[in-house]
């Protein structure tokens, strides 16, 4: 990207920090309350979902805005991230319980086999 192209959008006060369009309307660092009553800070969601911390976000002259399209994509990504985390937790819990049950069954079978072997050896 050449400097002329960069200067055409970088100095715009409403440049979206996620796609560089000139239509940023949401402050990345502000806390918003969703319709569900939860707090969302878009900069935190970027960090949580993707490990991305936007550079110069706290500079006085730098845009801290994000556009509606990117907000919708970010919310979708955050929702998907949370879904995957919940699904993995449920999956892990299932397999932990299953492994414990399988281990108990094996121990019971092994105990029964040992008892039967001892009984058989006693009567031989």
Binding residues for Zn(2+): 16, 19, 67, 70
Residue 105: burial class (beta carbons within 10 Å; 0-12, 13-18, 19+): exposed
Query: Which residue from 97, 93, 120, 90 is spatially nearest to 105, judged by alpha carbons?
Result: 97
Residues in the annotated binding site: 16, 19, 67, 70
SS3 call for 77: helix
Asked if residues 59 and 17 have their Cβ atoms less than 8 Å apart, the reply is no
Residue indicated by tokens 């402050």: 27
């Amino acid at each position: 990207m050449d400097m002329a192209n960069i200067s055409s959008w970088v100095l715009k006060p409403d440049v979206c920090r996620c796609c560089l369009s000139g239509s940023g309307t949401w402050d990345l660092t502000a806390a918003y309350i969703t319709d569900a009553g939860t707090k969302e800070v878009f900069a935190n969601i970027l960090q949580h979902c993707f490990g991305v911390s936007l550079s110069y976000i706290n500079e006085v002259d730098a845009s801290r805005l994000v556009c509606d399209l990117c907000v919708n994509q970010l919310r979708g990504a955050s929702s998907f991230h949370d879904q995957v985390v919940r699904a993995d937790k449920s999956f892990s819990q299932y397999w932990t319980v299953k492994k414990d049950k399988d281990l108990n069954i094996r121990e019971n079978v092994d105990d029964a086999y040992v008892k039967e072997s001892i009984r058989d050896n006693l009567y031989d």
